[in-house]
């Protein structure tokens, strides 16, 4: 694990532990949720995304690197309110997409490991992530609410390295974990938020049909942090912006048909801006 990944994971874990302590203290506070926070969390949203991606894997004493900026979009639906007689229930569905060219600098494998050939090209990449959240909001003060949640989802990466030695490869994995969202109403129309979550990356798999390769890899970890702002223009129309960081590892695979998937690390930094429609 790189020093940057270690620091990122350490800060994410500390944030989650702090949120657990806050929730334990706040569970007995019988105060109403801030209405501006409720409005900001009860919406459908669509936004434009720019995503910086850095990927690295090492095998046979060498390494592959991919990096670049990708455009994309985010779509979200969430609700905060009573459900089945329980107050402050939060539910959310988020879909993120990014796609475009990444620079590929590294090596390609041959059928006899460790036969490796230097290769520089372009990955015509497409990333998809779906995440479902369920939690319960708790009041810390008249303007501050916290939402601890559990989450599960699915993520894919279609990797298409061009050129004579290139090939297409498809990565997919489930994610499951927990996090906390911290909402602060700065006014009756503006809410800022901070979110951190930790996941297990499970049932991961990589396949490259042209190479006759397909293999599963073991469970690994993923961490995310996100800062956001929601500005309510009217009862129905909101503007939002955000900045997020996601880091995850793939554990690698066993040898299959002369090929294998090395352990890897991916760091994603994304900015987003868009419109949301409230439906309170």
Q: Which pLDDT score is estimated for 25?
A: 45
Q: Which pLDDT score is estimated for 102?
A: 95
- If one counts the domains in the chain, the total is 1
Q: Which pLDDT score is estimated for 9?
A: 53
What is the DSSP track for 151-173?
Answer: EEEEEEEEEEB-STT--EEEEEE
Q: Which pLDDT score is estimated for 109?
A: 66
What is the DSSP track for 75-106?
Answer: EEEEEEEEETTEEEEEEEEEEEEEEEEEEEEE
Angle at alpha carbon of residue 183, lines to 12 and 221, rounded to 5°: 25
Q: What is the CATH number of the domain that holds 162?
A: 2.40.128.90
- 194 burial via Cβ count (<10 Å: 0-12, 13-18, 19+): middle
pLDDT at 14 > cutoff 60:
no
Q: Which pLDDT score is estimated for 211?
A: 82
Provide the domain limits for residue 59. Answer: 3-278
- Determine contact, residues 13/197, Cβ cutoff 8 Å: no
Mean pLDDT over residues 244-267, rounded? 90
Distance from C-alpha of 219 to C-alpha of 250, rounded to nearest angstrom:
8
| CA 142 from centre of chain | 30
Q: Which pLDDT score is estimated for 164?
A: 66
Average pLDDT over the chain reads 87
End-to-end CA distance of the chain: 44
Q: What percent of the chain clears pLDDT 90, i.e. is strictly above it?
A: 67
Angle at alpha carbon of residue 207, lines to 206 and 213, rounded to 5°: 120
Q: What percent of the chain clears pLDDT 70, i.e. is strictly above it?
A: 84
Q: What is the dihedral of CA 245, 250, 48, 134, to 10 degrees?
A: -80
Mean pLDDT over residues 233-250, rounded? 95
Distance from C-alpha of 36 to C-alpha of 142, rounded to nearest angstrom:
11
Q: Which pLDDT score is estimated for 29?
A: 45
Output phi, psi for 177, to 5 deg: -175, -155
pLDDT at 134 > cutoff 70:
yes
Q: Indicate the pLDDT class of residue 163, thresholds 50, 70 and 90.
A: confident
Q: What is the DSSP pairing of strand 213-217 with strand 168-185?
A: unpaired
Mean pLDDT over residues 243-262, rounded? 89
pLDDT at 3 > cutoff 60:
no
Mean pLDDT over residues 221-242, rounded? 96
pLDDT in tens, 263-275: 999 999 999 999 9
Question: Among the listed ranges 188-192, 201-205, 254-258, which one has the minimum average pLDDT value?
Answer: 254-258
Nearest Cα to Cα of residue 153 among 140, 134, 169:
134
Q: Which pLDDT score is estimated for 165?
A: 66
Q: pTM of the prediction? A: 0.84
Q: Which pLDDT score is estimated for 110?
A: 59
Distance from C-alpha of 13 to C-alpha of 198, rounded to nearest angstrom:
8
pLDDT in tens, 25-47: 444 444 689 999 999 999 999 99
Q: Indicate the pLDDT class of residue 257, thresholds 50, 70 and 90.
A: confident
Q: Which pLDDT score is estimated for 24?
A: 46
């Amino acid at each position: 694990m790189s020093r940057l990944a270690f620091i990122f994971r350490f800060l994410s874990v500390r944030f989650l532990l702090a949120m657990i302590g806050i929730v334990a203290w706040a569970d007995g506070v019988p105060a109403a949720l801030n209405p501006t926070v409720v409005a900001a969390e009860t919406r459908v949203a669509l936004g434009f995304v720019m995503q910086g991606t850095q990927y690295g894997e090492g095998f046979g004493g060498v390494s592959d690197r991919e990096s670049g900026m990708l455009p994309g979009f985010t779509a979200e639906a969430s609700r905060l309110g009573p459900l089945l007689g329980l107050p402050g229930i939060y539910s959310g569905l988020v879909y993120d997409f990014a796609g475009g060219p990444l620079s590929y600098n590294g090596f390609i494998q041959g059928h006899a490991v460790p036969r490796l050939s230097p290769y520089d090209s372009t990955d015509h990449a497409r990333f998809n992530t779906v995440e479902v959240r369920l939690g319960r909001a708790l009041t810390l003060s008249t303007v501050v609410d916290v939402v601890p949640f559990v989450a599960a989802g699915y993520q894919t990466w279609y990797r298409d390295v061009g050129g004579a030695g290139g090939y297409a490869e498809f990565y997919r994995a489930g994610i499951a974990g927990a996090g906390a969202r911290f909402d602060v109403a700065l006014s009756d129309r503006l809410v800022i938020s901070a979110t951190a979550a930790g996941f297990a990356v499970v049932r991961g798999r990589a396949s490259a049909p042209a190479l006759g390769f397909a293999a599963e890899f073991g469970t690994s970890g993923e961490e995310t942090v996100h800062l956001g702002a929601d500005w309510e223009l009217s009862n129905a129309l909101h503007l939002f912006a955000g900045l997020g960081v996601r880091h995850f590892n793939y554990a690698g695979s066993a040898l299959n048909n002369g090929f294998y998937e090395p352990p890897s690390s991916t760091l994603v930094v994304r900015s987003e801006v868009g419109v949301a429609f409230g439906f309170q």
